[in-house]
Amino acid sequence: MSKKYANILFDLDGTLTDSADGVTRSVQYALKMYNINTTTDELKPFIGPPLHYSFQEIYSFSEAEAYRAVEFYRDYYRDRGIYENRLYPGIAEMLIKLQQKGMQLFVATSKPTVFARRVLEHFGIDRYFKLITGSNLDGSRVQKAEVIEAVINEAGGLEPETTVMVGDREHDIFGARAHNLYSIAVSYGYGPLEELLAAKPSAIVHSVRELAETL
């Protein structure tokens, strides 16, 4: 795919950072509050989608239970889980090159904005992004289409024909499509390849190097 992009929206977990340990341990901590014991390997489907939906879909929690579970999750995540995380190799170098080429970079994540900022600041890459936009702590703006809409509005409007969303789950692809944006799915994250293929992104890449070359 040869395409000139001026604006690039990145998902965070599974796209820029490998956050599996922190997210799954935080979920595991929350589930223990409900006397549910599980391994972290079983909890990887929680990475990416809005948390309260995952608690409802995977463990059949009521809406009230799910929101309470998110609070337990944050008890662990805000001081410990947030740092059980790492940048994928090559991400920082890619961001530098994209910025040098004059591209506008954004983060569009379902993670609360306050946590997303802390993660990016921790790794020293927050300065490469014009906007860092996520969900709200009150549980609003968790759908990826809503987050993308907020980025577009805060940026003063982005031309769809020169804007792309990069992410590792179907939610990223569907969110991009809702705003007529191009989408690039990364298979090195947490979304199963069959999920990404079914979502029909504009392109699929399998490594950070391939992503950099495509962008």
Question: Which long-range contacts link 60-65 to residues 24+ away (Cβ below 8 Å)?
Answer: 61/34, 65/34
Give me the active site residues, please. 11
Packing angle between helix 51-59 and helix 20-32, nearest 10 degrees?
60
Packing angle between helix 20-32 and helix 63-77, nearest 10 degrees?
130
82-92 burial, b if ≥16 CB within 10 A, otherwise e? bebbebbeebe
Tokens found for residue 28 = 């595991």
DSSP lists the bridge partners of residue 8 as 105, 164
Burial class (CB in 10 A: 0-12, 13-18, 19+), 28: buried
Element (H, E) at 205: strand 203-205
